[in-house]
Structure 1
Amino acid sequence: MLGKLNRLTVLKDSSPGLFLDGGELGEILLPGDAIPKGAAPGDVLEVFIYRDSEDRLVATTRKPLATVGDFAGLKVKEVHPRMGAFLDWGLRKDLLLPNAEQDRRVQVGETVVVCVFIDHQTERIIATTRLQGHLDHTPAPFKIGYEVSLLIASETPLGYNAIINNSRLGLLYRSELATPLAIGQRCQGFVRAIRSDGKIDLGLDPQGYQRVAPLADRILAAIHSNKGSLPYSDSSSPEEIRDAFQTSKKAFKQALGNLYRQRLVELHGAGIRLKSGKA
């Protein structure tokens, strides 16, 4: 219940606010400035339970950017030399990222990917950038081509580590990406491979025909709108391809190959053009 969204019944009204039935936790205050208009005893409200600055359990109708057990990209609002960093998680009281839970010292203004959890020594909700102990390391239940939700966690020489479905880690290869990604960014992706060591390779586009066909259609439309030819081919640089089609060179070459096989386009100098009779 602590650190989660709950549906609680209003027990009574008072000058500080409404008191909610917290079950084993007892009565929990929903302060007056957070009370929905018209709320009264007997109503059931969806609230988030956390501890205030005096360690009292309180409720809020505001929804945080992450709850206990979630991974999220949160912005650093303040850094305290002894206590740690304070993160904006959508509530009035900022979320503490203790110094001991930082894998490196964070800076004001940056977005850091954290896991939100309860420190069982203090019973407070805190954050950590030490993610490994909070990730699922059991065999992945995914199949190749499975669509997943991704949170970009960190950059590596090969690309980006991404948290899959709020549970486990995978890798997006830089060579597969049309544009750089941002730490803390959320996006949809696809499982490309599950390696023998259990590591998961990811892509942002579906594999095979599902990915190639829409891109091939875009290339063909661009050729038509440019009087039947384009100054791009499989020898163009990745940067040129990215600027023109917002895709990787690998995906472009696959789509172009698809158009070649259908005899819709042909090479023309350093570019491509509609095959004779297809204009």
Structure 2
Amino acid sequence: MKQDRKREIISRIKSFPSMSGIAAKALKLLDDPDANAAQVEQLLKQDPGLTANLLKLTNSAYFGIPSKVGSVRHAVVMIGWKKVSKLVMAACVNAITNRQIVGYDLPPGVLWQHSVAVSVTAEGLMRELKIAESDEIFTAALLHDLGKLILGGFVEKELDEIEKVAARGIPFQMAEQEVLGTNHAEIGGLMLESWSFPTELVNAVRWHHDPDSAPQTGVMTDIVHVANVLCLMIGIGIGVEGLHYEPSVSATKRLGIKPTQLELIASQTLEWANELAGVFE
């Protein structure tokens, strides 16, 4: 029965609509080393929603830009091509996550807010630990909960049973696994695998709740795990899952994070979340 349910869930991955055509083209363009801001701006003009989200992120207090940015080219001048590329990616992710996520009690916009917060926290961790900046870690953090988009309907149907299991004091994703035969992290990894994302990035999403069970441990998986847990611990995007989360002791040891550093990043995450708050209203 459980295996039949898992097969049904996995079969939904093939029919799941990926990003809009413009969003997909924008991400492809960002991977082109010869691309420039004018090309990206021209493409985004075809999707006003993407452009609006990009500019809202750019104009948030997080970046502290003194004057309002009104175009992609202006954004590049003010914060640089690399940061704008990441914000375009965040805006593209909004195109598929800005909806109510049934089963998880997440109203429209909350999953995107959580995803952006985890990405920002991951970057903060990299700076604090003096780890070289990585676009792939940012992307993995941004996409880590994508599996909820498919699993939510199944969670909704079995929520009473899942909550009974979770009431035993185990994390929500483990309760998902026990009842459904899979969990949102595994489904998210399979989604990215089907979209031909790099293996390391797929693994970071697949094991973001349980990095110690990954076939191979790595910095990307550990960073995304710790960033996600920090955001959940301070209440960003918790929904029905509650607060039953703590960072893996092994992951924090592998990264060399001290408790004082975790406290610092947690307090910074709250500050960053407040600075970005206007974007999600």
After TM superposition, the score normalised by the length of structure 2 is 0.25
Compare the two structures and name the one with the higher strand fraction: 1
Larger Rg: 1 or 2? 1
Looking at secondary structure, tell me which structure has more helix per residue: 2
Which structure carries more relative contact order (alpha carbon 8 Å, separation 6+)? 2
TM-score, normalised on structure 1?
0.25
